Amino acid sequence: MNSGRYLKCNGVVIYCRVSSQKQVREGNGLDSQEAKCRTWCRSRNLDVLKIFREEGISGGKKDRPALMDMFSFLEEVSKKNTKCIVLVEDLNRWSRETVNHFILKQAITSLGHSLQSVNMSLDDTDESEFMETVAAGISQLERKKNAKRTKTCMQEHAKMGVWLMNPPTGYKRERINGRIHCVRKEPTASYIQEALEGFANFRFHTQKDVYNYLKMKEIIGYDGKPTKVSLHFVKNMLINERYTGCFAYDRWNIPYQKWAIEEIISRKTYDKIQERLNRKKSCIQVRKYNLNDEEFPLRRWVRCNVCGTPLTASKSTSKSGKKHSYYHCHNKECPMRGKGIRQGVIHEDFEKILNAITPNPKTISLIQALIKDKEQTESENWRNIKKLKEQEIKNKKEEKEKCFELLLKNDNPEVMKMCNEKIAKLEVEIKELTREIEDNNVNTQNLREIGSKVFDFISKPLAVWNIGNHKQRQGVLKLCFSEPISYDRIKKFGTPKLSSIFSIFNNFSGKNHDWRPRRDSNSCCRRERAMS
């Protein structure tokens, strides 16, 4: 069926389009559109010059990859004075926006070509132009209604915690029990987790450090394609709350909730990252001193007597170039701020405290004797219990042997079953009794070793302090005192709160220490008389 109006045409360019990637994967739409267009061409004896297939692109867009390629092709054939028909199966495949429909059609006409549809004849009559306008308007209306339905459906799913938008880098979609979940996509998820936790814990001081780490890795997006790592990507990753699996979606007024998204970082880690990002200071954590400095074992343990702030410590250089070590309060509101306490002075005063809380040897010997006497009593009791348990084991073994004999002599299935059950039960009971005996022997030996080490430490905490490293000295502080000690440059150390074990020894010996130096009462009286 060859119409006269197609005689001047040199060929047909077919344009096919579908809106979703699902249609592309399943092959629905593109093939059927091409088949209908080819049938239309054969019925009119027209040759197909080229086919352009738009895969998964919305008809509301004007700048589509295949469409732009088609216009480039049309420009080339126009230079050869070749007239073509651009053929679509339906006008909604051409465009779903009324304005764009006529803009694109005008662009084709300006190149000397024409637009045709399989399902609708496009003539130059007024009636045809009217019907074309109506069809373009209907296509636009359908697109908007589809978009509204899709949005409503997505909102309902979102209220149930289903994330249907593109998942963040490091995730992939997976259907679990009929429900879409965002699960970790390895190894990208592990790289993202290490980068986020490293920034939160100051392993990476700046966003550039995170960028340098990630650019050495192969980061794959949810679509399976490599993702380009940039500073902009790192910034968005650090503020992306979706990696916690719990967040609010303000765009759709969805409150904070748990989503079907596997957690990559904890909420605590995310909050640390935001705290760092919101600081006005540099993200680099500058440590002005070493917290484990051997010269300042009392740093952060001794507190200022005025404000209660833990004392820090540092070295200062005199005019002669000699370095001097000081403890000082760094609280800006404290009147003692900046007034250093010499390291040697505070260490000497602290050693006096350790010497004072050390129980005398007689007290230690007496308590050791009491513990030893108690231990002997407990050992005697345990020996008696052990004999009973060993006798019980012996009886159960004899009973087990009898069950074996009965099992060998009897062919009755019921009796054999009862014997097997009884033997299994006896084996469990024998193992339990044996384990109790062995465990008690090991525990007794361990307690003796621990007790020996405890008494060695209690008898000489000052010696351990003097010869120990920083870690051992921190152990001395925690074993001797239950809380930090306050220090005053005049009154020296306040009354310390001893740990439980030292409190027991000091209460047992009847000590009532006063840690503050006593004044000379005669000098006080003389000072008062001089003032009067």
Q: Where are the alpha helices (DSSP H) in 242-327?
A: 267-278
CB 95 within 8 A of CB 101: yes
Average pLDDT over residues 157-174: 86
Strands 11-17 and 303-304, how do they pair?
Answer: unpaired
State residue 3's pLDDT score.
47
232 Cβ partners below 8 Å, 6+ apart? none
Query: Which run of H or E residues covers position 493?
Result: strand 492-493
Highest mean pLDDT among 284-293, 441-450, 455-464: 455-464
Does the pLDDT value for residue 259 go beyond 80?
Answer: yes
State residue 61's pLDDT score.
83
Does the pLDDT value for residue 388 go beyond 50?
Answer: yes
CB 195 within 8 A of CB 227: no
Give the model confidence (pLDDT) of 263-310 as tens digits.
899 999 999 999 888 874 444 444 455 667 778 888 888 888 889 888
Average pLDDT over residues 475-500: 84
Task: Give CA–CA dist 318/324, Å, rounded.
Answer: 7
Read off the pLDDT band of 196 (50, 70, 90). Answer: very high
> CA 272, 274, 279, 284 torsion: positive or negative?
positive
State residue 401's pLDDT score.
85
What does pLDDT average to over the chain?
A: 81
SS (H, E, C) 314-354: EEEECCCCCEEEEEEECCCCCCCECCCEEHHHHHHHHHHHH
